[in-house]
Structure 1
Amino acid sequence: MLSNGLPACSIYILLFLVCSCSNILQNDFRFISSQDLKSSITIFSAEGNTSYSQILFDVSRNQLFLSVRDGLYRLSLSGLKFLEYADWQSPENKKIECTYKGQNEESCHNYIKVLLSNRWHIFVCGTNAFSPVCSWREINNISNVIEVVDGIAKSSYNPTANITAFLSENGEYYFGGPTDFSGSDSLISKTARNMTLRTKQYNSFWLNEPQFIGSFESEKFVYFLFRETAVEHMNCGKTIYSRVARVCKNDYGGIHAIFKDNWTTFLKARLNCSTSGEYPFYFNEIQSMSYVATEQTMYATFTTSPNGIAGSAVCSFHLSAIDEAFNGPFKYQHDMNSAWVKHDNVHLGHYNCMSSLRNNHLLETSKYQLMDSAVQSTSLDPLYTSTLERFTHITVDVVDTKKDSVHILYVATTEGLVKKLSLLPLHGKHKKACVVEVWQVATSIFNMKFLKETSSVYITTNDGLIQIPSAHCKRHTSRANCKNAMDPYCGWNEREESCSVAPFGDPHNRFWIQHINSCPILDSPIDGGWSTWSEWSPCHHKTWANSDSFDQCLCQTRQCNNPQPSNGGRECSGPSIAVTNCTVHGGWSDWSGWSACSATCGTAVKIRLRTCTNPAPAFGGRVCVGQDRLEAFCTEHPPCPAEAVDGGWSPWSPWSSCSTNCGEGYAIRQRKCNNPAPLNGGQYCKGKFSAPAFFLPNDDTLGTKERSYRSVLGAKPNEVAV
């Protein structure tokens, strides 16, 4: 036995069931993984921002508003394109004061909890470091603050508080949630014309530690959904019940000291979401709601208590059933030691907003808030239940099909899954919701809303906003698969031979075939479909079959699980892996032919080349090892003949001595043809090899002609050149 009293085998069985359910889910053709969703979704995320939470649609201007911690975004509806950002941080002194009061630094920021519109302006409230504040802003310029309003009784102090708020059609502000620093004073209030109306303070018969889920209005009433500690069950121990409270829109409180600033029409009743039988099983804790005004129907998710085995359910409640409970008797306890008894509702007109009570009647009605009868759901059993799973959010769409209108419920879980449920149009008390698809969002979901105009589900997480289209018809590749999917959004287009949404939004198009008459058929042959390709990642791949080594590559894979073939369906065709950017080691090309010899005779060389291009090294591959050039002597050439060398004169020698000591004489100078000497038939030097000169006696009587002759020959004085 374990410490909690459960046998060990029970724990093992529980773990086995959890694993088995997970495996069955992922092998089901209705399951769409986060990887496969990527190709169809749109994501908005901005660096540095966290806690994406509140969403407000402004369809007429094709925009939406998105809150983050310390700020607000304005985005386009189509494509989630950035339009504007308004920074709204808490002042530093507020942050310091917040931490001094014992709050952690993370909580001491401005978390937007309320985001509403009156069609011309938006109304935004934030925690402001545990000092709530609100502001009115221009709808097309959210940075322009028109008015700053005190946030008490309009927003919570704590960013984790569960609250609800809305602006009524006549501009009155309704709020449900804690309204003090500690979170101990919760209320349901109305602010209008400088007055605030609220529930009785610190009165557990009115509200007992409520956790608010949502609110909506009808023509005469405003309704609040919450869960709270059941005061009628206190004698048997503490338990949580789900409630719906109702107040009249024309309730403006009592007079004088009696019910002054308090509701006079406040009533609450239990919501019954349980399995039928002799001993019903109750899903006591409401988690989320969505009201379809055109159908006057409220859908809600319920769970078991957090300290019990996880279980969840979806129930629906018609507005007439809610009002029927409020028109019934009260549940009343005279004092703490008395039993709870039934008490007639004698002031039915007042609680239906048709009269004002006198003072003595107000004193009497102050005793009664809780209705004796619970609000019954539209079906004997929940529309959908799930074990070992906890539902969080719900949003609803109404789809026109070939025959009827079908309600589509989108239900989120704590595991980050979104289940698309189709509510079959059955009659009577036996209604059934079918699982059409399961989306793996793979992150914790903060908020979820559906918008008809874009036919998309909008989901906020800590990291961003995700827009997911409602229809994924292309997954069903054959007519049979399309039909058996039983998706109200999808039908077989005979013209295009594909599974698609209704052409031009017309489900009655004669070429569009659809038969929604049951839950998806799971035992028919399902042809396999490829998932989207994974991201590129490093891998090892054997490039050549005869290679002993593996190369480093980038690979991406896809799986045949979108859907997975089953019941004899065809396998996917095509490759399941793609490889690129493999490490390529260099390889030599073939040697080129020998080049021509460098000379035609005598010593000469020839070369041949190769390149490292077979293949060229790539993505970190090794270069080729070895020579890329070879040289060889040309041995077949004859020796080259000797080269002829022409002779060249040496410099002139000095002049020789004169041939005589007196009278006429001569001197000689010479040069040789040896610079160089002529070789191999080269030409001999041209010109004379000697140069004599004749000397004459000094005779100044020589005529001018003689002297000129000497000068022309370049002879020195008294010498004659020959």
Structure 2
Amino acid sequence: MKEIILTFLSVLTSRFCASFTDYEPRLILHQASADRLQYHGTQNNTVLFHKEGRDDIYIGVKDAVLRISLEQKRIMQSFSLCPRKGQNWNETSCGYITTVIQQFEDSLFVCGTDGHKPQCWKLYLPAENQTSGISASFSGRGISPYSGSQNFLTLVVDGDLYAAAPLNRDGSLLQFRRNRGKRKNTWMHDKWVLEPTFISAAWIKRKDDPENEKIYIFFREKNSDSNPEADPWISRIAQVCKVDEGGPKRFFQNTWTSFLKARLICGIPEESLYFNRLQDIFLQEADDWRDSRVFVLFTSSWNSSAVCIYSLFDIARVFQNSSFKDFHENIPNPRPGMCVADSRQLPGETLSVVKNHAEMDEWIQPINKQRPFYISSLKYIKIAVDRVMGANSELYNVLFLVTENSIRKVLEHNSKPFIISETFLPNHVGHIQTIQLDSKKRKLLVGVLDELVLVDLQSCQNYNQSCEDCVLARDPYCAWTKAGCIPVDNTERGNIQDVAGGITEICHSKGSKTHRKKRDTLEMPSCDVPQATYAVPLHLPFYLSCPIHSHHATYIWEHNNQSGQCQQAQSACLQLIAAVKEDSYGTYECYSKERDYTRCVKAYKLVPKLDNTATSVSAQGAAMTFTVSLIFALCL
């Protein structure tokens, strides 16, 4: 029976126990239900509009737009998009799925499907107009999709509205266009892309050279290579000039004259491992555009994910210097893709290259041609990156990677990831659809089907056990003070924090009153936690449980001056005793060791049970009880 149990446990633990490394979250957290705002109007896509640092957020729901106060966590106002059917948006329906909310011209610009007839409105806000409400309805063709399931994006640039949306009801003629504003409407040549899925667009400002400002479009398109081994999708970045107003009347009138595209590469070439499906991007702007970076989230055909980081300077260099794919003649002057004062004066030779050879030969590589910054077996759908000033006044990047039901918090340090934590939404909350970072409020706004979840970027209370716990977190938002582990924003500079290394010796070198533990690898510190005593009969199986706080720590059991590794489950570290013997009695102490810090987590004392007659369970029955209990423990 003993051998059967041990064999079963070996298989069980190999299947259910996680691998605890620095590439796994240090802490597993659960989002507090108090930081949620529920509303009616469920739809399959959630549209958010929020200006960083403001209290108001606008959410597009079915047939309406809601104005919500983040501080009060309640709906302040609702704007019906069915004006001819009354203003009570909760009781009427006109088949309107909101797809676009943008600040444009003198109002909020709201567009939606309107029963497969895209329509746009101007939403005047209370602060701007005493008679706030919806007005000025006009066609949304080319701005909003015909249904919520179709691909689209919008971007406002210096008074102009850019959008990618299907021109036809069946989803065809999906183009990136300039649709409204001060400059002329401009669109794409239909041969430039093949069945694209547009992901994002970004305006790259150049304070010292505004005439050369670019708009970059991130998308994936169908691979023209029909080889069965080729991935069906290719990830791209394209450029157009902000000043581009199309070509002369005789050639390329109202068509982009500066459109060029290049392939984004993310993978491990020596292992022939590539992530080809662009999912999301986050632009991290710098004062000098050359120092700006783009964090790009990719997935693979087997649903794993990777993050690669690109320099805008490298992207611009490829468009400026690369040869053109399948073009073998002398490059004309002006060079195709250059920004010029009047695009309508460009010569035919330049426009011909743009029309027929818009793809670059050179691929765009991550910074320093490195491997992906981060690789995971999980499928991520969204990414946001915050720039955080630590207690030492240094700046750190913190990534927030989002699956359908969780947010992973990742520190970027020396081009390597450190997984601070993973926060899970409550089980009954729907799948995450959209996110928006508010760095000023230190919040991540998460939109699901019918509610808004406010995720605290700081969460310092989760590292508040001790100075060592706070330092080991390596969270640049948090530092140890006399008041505990609290946000750096609320502390004086110079409080205890070690983002770079997480070395807890700083707790003592800076005069912390925290009790100093021995750190000799051969001698454990004294155990000062309360001891639980159990009376256990001989010959029966038994196990002890030690709670896991940090998944980056190593957990060890000490018994009779002998150390042993524990069996690790998701939330507990187990000491397994297949059958209690005389030498099984005594004290058991569970220690965690992480970097330079060792502490006692749990202590037990097993003593003989003197009255064995009270135990009528057979050895086989006891083994079954033990096994069922253990399976439960492993699955916690």
Give the TM-score of the pair, scaled to structure 1.
0.61
Taking the aligned partners of 1:466 and 1:343, their CA distance within structure 2 comes to: 56
Taking the aligned partners of 2:270 and 2:316, their CA distance within structure 1 comes to: 26
Taking the aligned partners of 1:363 and 1:467, their CA distance within structure 2 comes to: 51
User: Which residue number corresponds to residue 163 of structure 2?
Assistant: 175
8 Å Cα contact 2:125-2:133 kept in structure 1? no
Amino acid at match of 2:152: I
Taking the aligned partners of 1:29 and 1:329, their CA distance within structure 2 comes to: 43
Distance 1:386-1:200 versus aligned 2 partners, 3 A rule: same
Does residue 210 of the first structure (1) align with residue 207 of the second (2)? no
Which aligned pairs between 1:131-280 and structure 2 lie closer than 5 A? 131-140=117-126, 144-168=133-157, 170-191=158-179, 192-193=181-182, 195-201=184-190, 203=191, 206-219=192-205, 220-231=213-224, 239-275=232-268, 277-280=269-272
Amino acid at match of 1:147: A
Taking the aligned partners of 1:65 and 1:332, their CA distance within structure 2 comes to: 44
User: Which residue number corresponds to residue 529 of structure 2?
Assistant: none
Does residue 288 of the first structure (1) align with residue 280 of the second (2)? yes
Distance apart, 1:25 and its partner CA:
11
The secondary structure found in structure 2 opposite 1:363 is helix
Distance 1:135-1:563 versus aligned 2 partners, 3 A rule: same
Unmatched runs of 5 consecutive residues or more in structure 1: 1-14, 93-106, 334-340, 527-558, 574-722
Q: 1:31 aligns with which of 21, 28, 31?
A: 28
8 Å Cα contact 2:25-2:420 kept in structure 1? no
The secondary structure found in structure 2 opposite 1:208 is coil
Distance 1:23-1:157 versus aligned 2 partners, 3 A rule: farther
Taking the aligned partners of 2:348 and 2:332, their CA distance within structure 1 comes to: 15
The secondary structure found in structure 1 opposite 2:315 is helix
Taking the aligned partners of 1:317 and 1:344, their CA distance within structure 2 comes to: 30
Does residue 67 of the first structure (1) align with residue 60 of the second (2)? yes
Taking the aligned partners of 1:172 and 1:193, their CA distance within structure 2 comes to: 6
8 Å Cα contact 2:401-2:408 kept in structure 1? yes
Does residue 492 of the first structure (1) align with residue 480 of the second (2)? yes
Amino acid at match of 2:32: K
Amino acid at match of 2:299: T
User: Which residue number corresponds to residue 458 of structure 1?
Assistant: 445
Distance 1:16-1:165 versus aligned 2 partners, 3 A rule: farther
User: Which residue number corresponds to residue 402 of structure 2?
Assistant: 412
8 Å Cα contact 1:408-1:422 kept in structure 2? yes
Does residue 514 of the first structure (1) align with residue 497 of the second (2)? yes
Distance 1:354-1:472 versus aligned 2 partners, 3 A rule: same
8 Å Cα contact 1:85-1:143 kept in structure 2? no
Q: 1:382 aligns with which of 335, 360, 372?
A: 372
Which aligned pairs between 1:641-680 and structure 2 lie closer than 5 A? none
Distance 1:197-1:20 versus aligned 2 partners, 3 A rule: farther
User: Which residue number corresponds to residue 473 of structure 1?
Assistant: 460
Listed one character per residue, the Cα deviations across residues 642-685 of structure 1 (whole Å, up to 9, x for unaligned) are xxxxxxxxxxxxxxxxxxxxxxxxxxxxxxxxxxxxxxxxxxxx
The secondary structure found in structure 2 opposite 1:153 is coil
Taking the aligned partners of 1:148 and 1:323, their CA distance within structure 2 comes to: 39
The secondary structure found in structure 1 opposite 2:116 is coil
User: Which residue number corresponds to residue 638 of structure 1?
Assistant: none
Taking the aligned partners of 1:386 and 1:343, their CA distance within structure 2 comes to: 44
Taking the aligned partners of 1:83 and 1:137, their CA distance within structure 2 comes to: 15
Distance apart, 1:87 and its partner CA:
1.9
User: Which residue number corresponds to residue 114 of structure 2?
Assistant: 128
Taking the aligned partners of 2:83 and 2:324, their CA distance within structure 1 comes to: 46
Listed one character per residue, the Cα deviations across residues 157-192 of structure 1 (whole Å, up to 9, x for unaligned) are 121123221111x21111123221111211010123
Does residue 438 of the first structure (1) align with residue 425 of the second (2)? no
Distance 1:483-1:367 versus aligned 2 partners, 3 A rule: same
Which aligned pairs between 1:521-600 and structure 2 lie closer than 5 A? 567=555, 568=591, 569-571=599-601
The secondary structure found in structure 2 opposite 1:58 is coil
8 Å Cα contact 1:434-1:519 kept in structure 2? no
Amino acid at match of 1:176: A
Listed one character per residue, the Cα deviations across residues 30-70 of structure 1 (whole Å, up to 9, x for unaligned) are 1103xxx216x521112454446111113575311111122
Distance apart, 1:143 and its partner CA:
5.7
Structure with max Cα Rg: 1
Does residue 55 of the first structure (1) align with residue 44 of the second (2)? no
User: Which residue number corresponds to residue 338 of structure 1?
Assistant: none
Distance 1:138-1:475 versus aligned 2 partners, 3 A rule: same
Taking the aligned partners of 1:409 and 1:133, their CA distance within structure 2 comes to: 36
Unmatched runs of 5 consecutive residues or more in structure 2: 1-11, 86-92, 206-212, 505-518, 526-545, 556-590, 592-598, 604-636
Does residue 482 of the first structure (1) align with residue 451 of the second (2)? no
8 Å Cα contact 1:177-1:211 kept in structure 2? no
8 Å Cα contact 2:336-2:354 kept in structure 1? no
User: Which residue number corresponds to residue 533 of structure 2?
Assistant: none
The secondary structure found in structure 1 opposite 2:381 is strand
Distance apart, 1:279 and its partner CA:
4.0
Taking the aligned partners of 2:253 and 2:15, their CA distance within structure 1 comes to: 54
Distance apart, 1:146 and its partner CA:
3.5
Amino acid at match of 1:381: R
The secondary structure found in structure 2 opposite 1:370 is coil
Which aligned pairs between 1:687-698 and structure 2 lie closer than 5 A? none
Which aligned pairs between 1:624-635 and structure 2 lie closer than 5 A? none
Distance apart, 1:90 and its partner CA:
9.5
8 Å Cα contact 1:155-1:179 kept in structure 2? no
Amino acid at match of 1:156: P
Amino acid at match of 2:448: T
User: Which residue number corresponds to residue 514 of structure 2?
Assistant: none
Amino acid at match of 1:290: F
Distance 1:433-1:394 versus aligned 2 partners, 3 A rule: same
Listed one character per residue, the Cα deviations across residues 497-548 of structure 1 (whole Å, up to 9, x for unaligned) are x111115365x2x3x2111114799x9999xxxxxxxxxxxxxxxxxxxxxx
Distance 1:136-1:19 versus aligned 2 partners, 3 A rule: farther
Distance 1:371-1:412 versus aligned 2 partners, 3 A rule: same
Distance apart, 1:347 and its partner CA:
4.2
Distance apart, 1:29 and its partner CA:
4.7
Greater alpha carbon shift after TM alignment, 76-85 vs 477-486:
76-85
Taking the aligned partners of 2:118 and 2:503, their CA distance within structure 1 comes to: 48
The secondary structure found in structure 1 opposite 2:270 is coil
Taking the aligned partners of 2:242 and 2:23, their CA distance within structure 1 comes to: 49
User: Which residue number corresponds to residue 597 of structure 1?
Assistant: none
Amino acid at match of 1:514: Q
8 Å Cα contact 1:138-1:144 kept in structure 2? yes
Distance apart, 1:119 and its partner CA:
7.7
8 Å Cα contact 1:398-1:406 kept in structure 2? yes
8 Å Cα contact 1:27-1:561 kept in structure 2? no
Distance 1:19-1:180 versus aligned 2 partners, 3 A rule: farther
The secondary structure found in structure 1 opposite 2:356 is coil
Distance 1:74-1:43 versus aligned 2 partners, 3 A rule: same
8 Å Cα contact 1:52-1:66 kept in structure 2? no
Amino acid at match of 2:375: T
Taking the aligned partners of 2:237 and 2:65, their CA distance within structure 1 comes to: 31
User: Which residue number corresponds to residue 43 of structure 1?
Assistant: 36
RMSD over aligned Cα, in angstroms?
3.5
Distance apart, 1:349 and its partner CA:
4.5
Taking the aligned partners of 1:234 and 1:501, their CA distance within structure 2 comes to: 53
Amino acid at match of 2:169: F
Amino acid at match of 2:174: S
8 Å Cα contact 1:491-1:514 kept in structure 2? yes
Amino acid at match of 2:165: G
Distance 1:152-1:519 versus aligned 2 partners, 3 A rule: farther
Does residue 297 of the first structure (1) align with residue 281 of the second (2)? no
